[in-house]
Every structure is written in structure tokens, then in C-alpha cells.
Chains A and B, each alone.
Chain A
Amino acid sequence: MKRLRITVEGIAYEVTVEDLDAAPAAAAAPVAPVVAPRPAAASAPKPVPAPVVAAPAAPAGAGSVPSPLAGTVVSVAVSVGQTVAAGELLLVLEAMKMNTNIGAPQAGTVSAVNVAPGATVTEGQILVTLA
């Protein structure tokens, strides 16, 4: 049994994949009875990264900057290797008769610029990756 997260049309699904040719897997644990919600989150599991709405092949990581909407790249303000502060302009998109400034979600170093001016991008497409 293998657990995977796949993204279809921007919605992340978690799936469990079973290889039928492989050695029989241990029976799935019985479904626990539905209990009343616990009052506190003290022992809640550690947070996992929120599913990122993503279109490109590369899985989206914490440093990925996805496009908030479909549009055309007007200009790119950064290049690979450049360090950026949180909020610093990375690139400008044009969509819906309006320019949309894409800022850095956090400080970091630009490790990839996936688009060039004139490129059309889809919602969720990773534009820039920060390390």
C-alpha cells in the first residue's frame, strides 16, 4: 500500500494505491468507531503542508509561487540566484484587463523562474520557486 497525493484540476486528492501483484499487504486496520470530537488539540498530529493548487509536473513545495489566476506574463523582475525579501515583486501578470503583481510569499533565493514575458499561464501554475 502506498499513499499518494494527486492534483486534478487544482483539487488535491489523497489516494491509497495497492500493488495487486506484490506480496499481499496486511489487512487494513479496522475502521475506528466514530467518537465524539475531542475537546482540545493538544495531541493533534503535526501540521502537514497544505495542499498546493498546482498544474505543472513538479510537485509544489513550500517555496513554490503559484499563479493566482490565468493570464499572460508581462515582465519578470527576478533572475535565478537572486535573493528576495518577503513581498518583493517577482513578476507581473496581465489578466482580466489588469496587471497583477506577484510578490514573494517569503524571503529566499530564487531557485527557478519557470516563465518568460509573453508566456500564458494557468491558475496554479508554478511561476517561480524560492529556496
Chain B
Amino acid sequence: MAISKALADELERRRAVALAGGGEKKAEARHAEARMTARERLEALFSPGTFQEFGLHARHNTRHFGMESREIPGDGVITGTGFVDGRPVAAFSQDFTVSGGSLGEIHAKKICHTLDHAGKAGVPIIGFNDSGGARIQEGVGALSAYGQVFYRNVQLSGVVPQISVIAGPCAGGAAYSPALTDFTIMTREHAQMFICGPEVIRAVTGQATSMDEIGSAEVQASVAGNIHFIAEDDAHAVALVHRLLSFLPSNNMMDPPHRIEPELAIADDPVLDDLVPEDPKAPFDCRKVIERLADEGDFLEVMAEFAANIVIGFGRIGGIVVGFVANQPMVKAGALDIDASDKAARFVRFCNIFNIPLVTLVDVPGFLPGVHEERRGIIRHGAKMLFSYASSTVPKITVIMRKAYGGAYIAMCSQDMGADRVLAWPSAEIAVMGAEGAVNILYRKELSEAEDKRAKAKELAEEYRAEFASPYLSAGMLFVSDVIQPRQTRSAIALALRGLMSKRETRPPKKHGNIPL
């Protein structure tokens, strides 16, 4: 009794053809460029031996332009599930060596099946994008296939973490699938992302441009803000996926992978005292504060290249996974502008979806004044910050390190936005506006009568700052829960978070709020 040899051999023969993908020659060409093949990317992603493929025997259904007789192994995409750090994860990987990784109906069906599986199983979905685009020979069928993928990306948004890796071309409509996902990682070389390429732009508008100017990882990360991480190569991209997953729950019904020890160490960190400059005008790097607050200094910064006046990212405090949002006084004085608001607001919403508490570190002089900002809609964009914080129900802890002025103070998760704990350092200045500006309005008459206007203004400003911007004024009005030494910050946050793990807050039922987009 044994399975017929002919049947067993037939399976092995079919497997060999499908597993070979675009063939050895194309794989070698990839390796010569120090790149991985589609299958190697999945092997690097999953723990060895855990990958279970589906759709290996998929066949394309292109019926025109002589495609009927062409073999397209796996229809240009590899899909399945596996394990990362012992947790199940779903993934697809487009194979550029097979028909340019072009997306046809069956190719898309495999991706959709993977997405559906991720939703049903409640596991993260990772997509490696490396495709020339729609399979033109399949015409509008290929177009609809994109729509099928987008629709599922949207249905899964807020249900399971979705991570895209751009490891090759990702052009036109194809770019919208990564755009709908939570995080996008792009390799520095060999990857392009754009809607209209340089030729189309030139043909339609006459503007001369290059791929480097519109579609490179560098531009997408720093100017466009479309991607979250630049990877140096395929292996680094996979490492970033692993790193991200280490902070994320498998789905929105689970807690993120906290590492809570039964004992909580409560110890002061005097280094934090030294980090705060004596001169309130001297800039300091808020990432240094985050590194002191995060367990083992382990901080995964997100979107580091974009809107550097605000810093966002993941870490743990006392074992509890948190999302950090911090003003960066070294860049644009830490003021909030359109890009910084967009960046922080989306991050806050991501954290809220996936039950990740928010730690907000405030040193903000205000919203950035400028004709440009006003005309481009800073009102609408800044409102996203308010909307995101106010609608978030995860534990929210705010530390006012130095400046917290005007609307930006509220936008950085003031108590009124539902912060569960607002801690202020003695260096905090919390006020409706800067002392100099306030004095000009409040003491207009005195100033116009003063002999030395400048000296009088300075004197009044100092008085105002001491009296009306003091953290004790806000603490006295209960807008600040406590004023603490910087050295006490880490243990204060850790302890507060422990006490908030059972936080439950409900909102009125509705389809969804109308966030100003």
C-alpha cells in the first residue's frame, strides 16, 4: 500500500516548476544586485519551516494576446502564512521575475485570499510589493483586481496590522494598496513608488523630472511622507518588519506584546534632570528623553525623515508597549505645522486602534505661523491632532517638559483632550500665548507710556512668565495632575500605566467620526 509513484512524481514535477519562479538566471541576476527573490523574502520573514503556502498551483487566466499558452508560475505572487517570533502572520510576495510580477485576476485573487485569511484569523498581514503593475493583457479585469485588493485593505484597516514593503516598482494604482496599509517600508535602492512617472509628467505638464525626484525612497520618506521607514536592503526591510511586529498585537481585540514583570522597579533617573537645558530657549533633542524613558533605551522611531519637528515611535515603559509622541525643539522650534500634525495624528489613531497607550512629551511653542501654513489649511490639519487625541480611548499620559502654548498645548493631549494623567516638569510653561505677545496686548497702554519700551516689555514679560505660565498655576487649577522632577518621570509613567491597564472608556455608537481629512 503506497501512493502511486506516478501521482507522487507528478506533484513533485509541478512543485519544481512553480518553485523555480522566473528561473535560475533571473534569480542570479537579483543576487548580483544583492537583492532577494520573492521567495527568499518570505523565507527571511518567517521562522524556518513555518511557511505554509497557498496557491502554489495557481494558473493565470489571460486569454488574449498570445498569453493563453504562457506559463506564469504561481501567477507571479507567492502567498501564505507562517510564524514570526512564535506568532502567526500572513504574507504575500510579488515575484518580479515572473511576468514582471504583473497583477492579473488570479494573482490578485491570491492576495485577496491572503488578506481575507488575515482578517478571519486575526493576524498581521505583510505584503512585499515588487510588480510592474497591471497585466495589460487582462485589461479591465486587472483593474478590477486592484479594486478587490484595495477594498480588502480598507476592510482590514483597524482590524489587523497591515505592513507593506516596497522592494521594487510600485507604480500607478498599485501604489494605493500600500498607501491604505498602516506602515510602509521601502528599500533605498531598486524601489520606486509613484502615481505618474517622469515620462507621463513630462508629456502632460512639460515638467522635466527624474525618478529620484518623485519616486525614490528618499523623497517618499522625507518630502512626501508616504512611507515610514527606509530599508538599506531586503534583509533590513524584513528586520524592520520583525521590529515593528514586536510592538504590535495580532489584531485589534488583543493587547500588544507587553513584557510586564510582576515587580515594578521605581527608581529615579538623574540623567533626565541633566537633559533639560537651564536656558528655556536652548534646544534639546527630545529623542534623548525618549531613550531615557523607554526600557533599555529601545525606541523604534517611525517616519524619522518626515516632519522632524515631531517625533513618533514605539517603545516600552515598565514592560508596557507605548506610542511616543514628542515635540522636537531642535527642528522648527518644535512648532506644529501641517506635516507634523498629519504625521502625529495618524500615529495616535494607529495606537488607539491597537490598544497601545500614548505617552505625549510636550515642548511646543505653538502652531507654526506662516502664509503658507494658513493657505494650505493648517486649521484642517491641526484639527486632526485634536480629533485623534480626543477620540482615543487608550491610556493617555502627557508630560509637559517645557513650553505648552495656546492651541498647540491642547493639541498635544492636554487634560481636556482626555489625558488620564498630565505631569509637568518645574520647567513647564503653560499659557494661552507667549509672554512677549501677551504683554503687548495686556499692557498696551503702559508700554506706550513707558520711557524705555523695550526694558519695560522685558520686565513685564518676565513677570507674566513667572506668574501666568507657571506649572503651579495650571496645577492649582487641576489641569496638571502633578509637578514632578524630570528624574521621576519614568517611574511616574510606568506606575500610572500599570494603573491604567484596565481602562475602559466608551463612545457613543456611530459609523465613524468625521475626521477633518
Q: Does A100 contact B (CB under 8 A)?
A: yes
A39 and B370 contact, CB distance less than 8 A: no
Q: Is B464 an interface residue (CB 8 A)?
A: no
- The reply to whether B213 and A98 contact each other, CB–CB distance below 8 Å, is no
Q: A44 contacts B330, CB within 8 Å?
A: no
Instruction: List residues of chain A with CB within 8 A of the CB of B72.
Output: none
Contact between A48 and B204 (Cβ–Cβ < 8 Å)?
A: no
**When the two chains form their complex, are residues B365 and A37 in contact, meaning their CB atoms are under 8 A apart?**
no
A39 and B100 contact, Cβ closer than 8 Å, known pairs A10-B372, A32-B199: yes
A96 at the B interface (CB under 8 A): yes
Q: Which residues of B contact A123 (CB under 8 A)?
A: 370, 372
Residues of chain A within 8 A of B331, CB atoms compared = 68, 100
**Cβ contacts under 8 Å, B329 to chain A:** 98
Q: How far is the CA of A117 from the CA of B180 in the complex (A)?
A: 47
Flag if A48 contacts B208 (CB, 8 Å): yes
Stretch of B6-14, B76-84, B190-198 with 4 or more beta carbons under 8 angstroms from chain A: B190-198
| Contacting pair B434 A97 (CB below 8 A) | yes
Instruction: Give chain A nearest CB distance to B76 CB in angstroms.
Output: 12
Report if B50 contacts A (CB, 8 A).
Answer: no
| Interchain CB contact (< 8 A) of A45 among B133, B134, B198, B403 | B198
- On chain A, the residues within 8 Å of B213 by CB distance are 47-48, 50
Chain B interface size, as a band, is: 35 or more
User: Contact check: which of B96, B172, B203, B365 meets A32 at CB < 8 Å?
Assistant: B203
Smallest beta-carbon distance A71→chain B, Å: 8
Q: With an 8 A cutoff between CB atoms, is B332 at the interface?
A: yes
Count: A-B pairs, CB below 8 Å: 116
Kindly state the separation between the CA atoms of A31 and B197 in the bound complex, as whole angstroms: 15
A82 CB-CB contact with B under 8 Å = no
Q: Which of B265-283 contact A (CB under 8 A)?
A: 280-283
A112 at the B interface (CB under 8 A):
no
Contact A69 B210 (CB under 8 A): no
> Quick one: closest B residue to A68, CB to CB?
B332
Asked if A40 contacts B169 (CB within 8 A), the reply is yes
What residues of chain B lie closer than 8 Å to A50, measured between beta carbons?
A: 213
Contact A97 B333 (CB under 8 A): yes
Residues from chain B with Cβ under 8 Å of A41 in the complex = 169, 192, 211, 215
Query: CA separation between A67 and B215, bound complex, in Å?
Result: 26
A33, A39, A44: which contacts B96 (Cβ < 8 A)? A39
Would you give the shortest CB distance from A49 to chain B, in whole angstroms? Answer: 9
Nearest CB on B from A40, distance (A)? 6
With A36-B133, A48-B208 known as contacts, the answer to whether A69 contacts B333 (CB < 8 A) is: yes
> A34: nearest residue on chain B (CB-CB)?
B200
CA distance A99 to B333 in the complex (A): 7
- Asked if B369 is at the interface of the complex by the 8 Å CB criterion, the answer is yes
Asked if residues B207 and A98 are in contact (CB atoms below 8 Å), the reply is no
Q: Quick check: A99 and B366 within 8 Å, CB to CB? A: no
Q: Which residues of A contact B280 (CB under 8 A)?
A: 97
- Closest B residue to A53 by beta carbon equals B372
Query: Counting CB contacts under 8 A, is B509 at the interface?
Result: no
Determine the distance from Cα of A39 to Cα of B102 in the docked complex, in whole angstroms. Answer: 10
- Cβ of B369: which chain A residues have Cβ within 8 Å of it? 70, 96
* Interface flag for B178 (CB, 8 Å): no
B329 CB to closest chain A CB (Å) equals 6
Interface residues of A in 14-38 (CB under 8 A from B): 14, 16, 31-38
A94 contacts chain B at the CB level, 8 A cutoff: yes
Q: List 20 A-B contacts (CB under 8 A).
A: A14-B208, A37-B172, A37-B200, A39-B96, A39-B100, A39-B171, A40-B192, A68-B331, A69-B332, A69-B333, A69-B335, A69-B368, A96-B333, A96-B334, A97-B333, A97-B365, A97-B434, A98-B334, A101-B283, A123-B372
